[in-house]
Chain A
Amino acid sequence: MKIFLKSALTIVSVILLLIVFPKMVKAADNYRPIPTERASLPTANKEIIVGFKEPPKTKNLISLSRQKKIVVKNGLSSTKAMVFSIGDKNINETLTDVKKDPNVAYAYPNYRFNLLNIPNDPGIIAMPTPGEPRLQWNMFNMKLAGTGKSAWDVSTGSESVNVAVIDGSFDSTHTDLTGKITKLADCAKATCTQVLSFSNNENNFMGTYHGTHVAGLVAAGTNNSKGIASSGYNTKITVIRLMDDNGDMNISYLINAIRWAADQGNRIVNVSLGQMQENLDSVAISELNAAASYAWGKNTLVVAAAGNCGNSVNPHLPGVTPAPDEIDACDQVDDNGNFVKHVVNPIMYPANSPNVLSVAALKEDNTLASYSAHGSWVSVSAPGGECDPDADLYNCILSTVPPDENDYQYGYLSGTSQASPLVSGLASLLLSVKPALSNSQLKSYIESTANKSIASGSTKNGAVDALAALEALNGATGTPVKTPTPTLSPYPTTGVAKLPKQPPVPYPSAPYCPVLGNCLKKNTGDANCDGLINTSDYTIWKQQFDKMVSVTPVNQNANFSCVEGNNSSYFIDLQDFEIWRKNKSP
C-alpha cells in the first residue's frame, strides 16, 4: 500500500509537472514567436514596460506572467523595469491590472518612435519666424525631411553615387561643398577637359552664382552643422562648367557636356538650363536629342529643368518691340537675335528630349509656380519656390552661393533650375539603396510614386514624393522594368571554381555566442535587439555588410554568427544574412 501510494503520488506529480512546466518554460522561452500585429495601436505596440519596486526576481516574473497572461521579453538596462508582450490583450486593461501587483511600481506602453533623421544644418533645424516658412521648406515639402518618417530616414545617400551637375560655373571652394566635388570639367570650349578648380570672373558671375546654388541643392555638406542640407545628403558631384568667358553657353558645349558626363560613368546628370523649341532648328534639336539618347544608352538618367516661361502675362508692352536688353529667355528671336515674339509655356530642350526627366516648379504652398512650364510633356514637379525679394524672400529656395563682400555664402533663387537638382538628389538616394537600378527603373520609381493630387494636371506624373519613392524601392521584390538578357551560347568557357571553404550552410559551424545582455535573439537575427526579427534588422545588416563591426553597442550590430573571443568573426557577411533570413518573421 505504501508503495502504491508513492507510485500514485509520483504519477500525479509527473502529470502535474508536465502540465505546469511547459507553461513555465514557455514564459521564459525567448524563442517563442512574438505577435507582430501592431495595427490596432498607433502609438504603442503590443508591449508594455513594467517597473518594479525592487529588482525583479525570476519567481516574481513567472508569477506576474502567469497571473496577467503576459510574456516577459527583456529588461531595460540599469533599471528595475522589464518589457512584457501582452499578446492580444487590451493594453489599457492590462496596464491597470498589472499596476495592482504589489511588486509593481509603474507600467506604461512600450511606445513606438519614428526614426527622425533631421540633419543638423541650420537651414533645416532653424525655427522659422512666425508666419514664414522654414529656411529649407523645400526639403520638408518634398518629404526628404520631416517631423515623422522622411526619405532621409530611409537613405542618406552614398559617397559612391556621383551626380554630374552641368551649369554655368561654380565656386568650387565653397565651404559647404568641401569634399563633395569629385571632378571638375570645363566644357565651355571645343572639348571637355578636367580642371582642378574654377576661378570666378565678372563675365560669368551670374553663371557661377546659379551653378553654385544648383550644386548645393544636390550635394552641399549635410549634417555638418553648416549652412544648408542637400537633397542628395552624402551624394557627391562632378561639376561641369558651360559658361565661357564671354558669358555664353552654346548648344555645342551642352552636347559635349552631356556626352562627357555619361562617358565618365555618372549615373545621374542634372541640367538646370535649356532653350525653347522656337529658338532651335530641327537639326539642333536632333543633335541635343542624340546626346540625351547617348547618355540614356550609357545607363545615365538626365534630369532637366522644364523652363520658366509658363507665365501667361506678357512682360512687354503690346505693339512695342522690346529693346535688345529687354529681350528675355521667353522671347523668340531670329538668327540675328532680333525680337520675334513672346512665347508662353513653350516646350524646352533638353527637358523635352527622349527619356529626360523634366521637372516643373512648385511654390511653398504646393501649387504650381506662376512662371513654371507645365503640361503633359513635363514629367514631374518639385519645389522651385516663388517670392518677392523685398517681401517674402523665404518663399524662394535657399542654397549655396559664392561669398559676397559681406561673406554671405547662402542665398535665395527660384525656378525650375532649383526644382531639378532636388529631383537629381532624390535619384541619387534611390541609387544608393539599389546601385543596380537601371536608368529606366530609376525614372520609373520617381514618376510612378509622384503625387498626382498636388498641382493636379500641371505635369504628367505629379509632385515628386521622396519618401514614397524610397519606400516603393525598399518594398519592391521585383523591378518595374525588366533588364534584357543577352543571347548566350550554351557552352561554358573560362573559369570554373569550386567552393571548398564556404559550402552552403544555414548556420555557422562554430558555437553561438552567449546571449549578449538583454538581447536574447541576437544570434537569430535581431540586430537592433527589439525582440523582433524584421526588415529593420535587415537594414542594419545591409549597412554593415562587408565591414568589421564591434560587438558594442549590442543593439546596432548584425554579427549573428559571431564566435566569442575570435576577432575575425566580427566580419559581417552572407552567413549573417542567411541567419536573419531563416529566422525573420513571415
Chain B
Amino acid sequence: MYGLNIPKKHIIASFFVLLMVVVLPLVIILVQKRQDIRPRALQGNANLLLSVDKNSPGEKEEIHVMATVQLTNTTLLISGADFTILYDKAKLEAVSVVPAISGSDAFTEAPIVTKEGSFDSTYNFLRVAEVANKAAGLLKSNSAKLADITFRTKVAGQAVIKYADDNNLLQIVGTSTP
C-alpha cells in the first residue's frame, strides 16, 4: 500500500473541494441568481472640449464649432455620448448639428439630434446622443470627435457657447480595452 496512504487532512480537503463543486452550482440553479464575476472596466474621467474656427466672426457670419471628447485613461474605449451644449440665444443661431457618425467617425448612429431648444432666458440648447454599434475592437480610444456644429452670428458682441454646467446633462459610456 505504499504511496496510496492518503493523509487524513488531504481527505478532508478533498471533501471540502467536493462540497464546493457540488453545492455551488446547485445553489446557483436553485436560487436562479447570478453574480457578475466578469472583470469590470477601469473607471476614468472624460474631458469635453469645444474648438472654433474663428475668434472674431463678423455679423451674420457662420462659425464652425467642433465638439470632442478626451478620455483620461488610455485603456478606455468610448461607445456612447450624450451631451448638451448651451449657446447665447440673443447672439447666435444654430444652423446645423452634424453628429460624428459617418465613415471613420467614432459613432454609427445618433438617436437624438436637436439644435434649438430653449434652455432658459439666456441660452438655447442643442443636444446630441450618439452610439457606436461596433465591436469593442473597433471603438475609439484617447479622443474622438463628437459633432460639427455651425452657428450664425445674429448681432455684434460677445457670445457664449459652452457645455451644460450640470453634469447630469452629460453622459459618456464605454468599456476597457479588450
Contact = CB atoms under 8 A, between A and B. Distances in A.
B171 A502 contact: yes
A403 interface: no
Contact of A582 (B99, B111, B136): B136
A43 interface: no
A479 B101 contact: yes
A130 interface: no
A190 interface: no
B53 A488 contact: yes
A400 B5 CA distance: 95
Contacts of A3: 5-6, 8, 11
Contacts, number: 209
A514 B34 CA distance: 8
B45 interface: yes
A504 B175 CA distance: 7
A391 B26 CA distance: 75
A577 B164 CA distance: 23
Contact of A505 (B29, B53, B173): B173
Contact of A479 (B8, B80, B102): B102
A496 B129 contact: no
B18 A504 contact: no
A487 B53 contact: yes
Contact of B49 (A11, A486, A495, A538): A495
A58 interface: yes
B21 A483 contact: no
B103 A482 contact: yes
Interface string B29-60: 10011101010110111111111110100000
Contacts of B102: 478-479, 482-483
Interface residues of B, number: 82
A479 B170 contact: no
Interface in B117-164: 129, 131-136, 148, 150, 160-164
Interface in A1-20: 1, 3-4, 6-7, 10-11, 13-14, 17-18
Given A488-B66, A504-B173, A573-B171, A478 B25 contact: no
Contact of A493 (B51, B96, B98, B112): B51
B123 to A, nearest CB: 12
Contacts of A542: 109, 111
A491 B25 contact: no
Contacts of A490: 51
Contacts of A493: 50-52, 55, 161
8 contacts: A4-B6, A24-B25, A492-B50, A500-B167, A504-B43, A504-B46, A512-B36, A582-B175
Nearest 8 A/B pairs, CB to CB: A486-B64, A504-B174, A495-B162, A574-B80, A506-B175, A497-B163, A479-B102, A574-B173
Interface of B: 1, 4-6, 8, 11, 14-15, 17-18, 21-22, 25, 28-29, 32-34, 36, 38, 40-41, 43-53, 55, 64, 66, 71, 76-82, 85, 96-99, 101-103, 108-113, 129, 131-136, 148, 150, 160-165, 167-168, 170-176
Interface of A: 1, 3-4, 6-7, 10-11, 13-14, 17-18, 21, 24-25, 28, 31, 58, 299, 434-436, 438, 477-479, 482-483, 485-507, 512, 514-515, 538, 542, 545-546, 573-575, 577-578, 581-582, 586
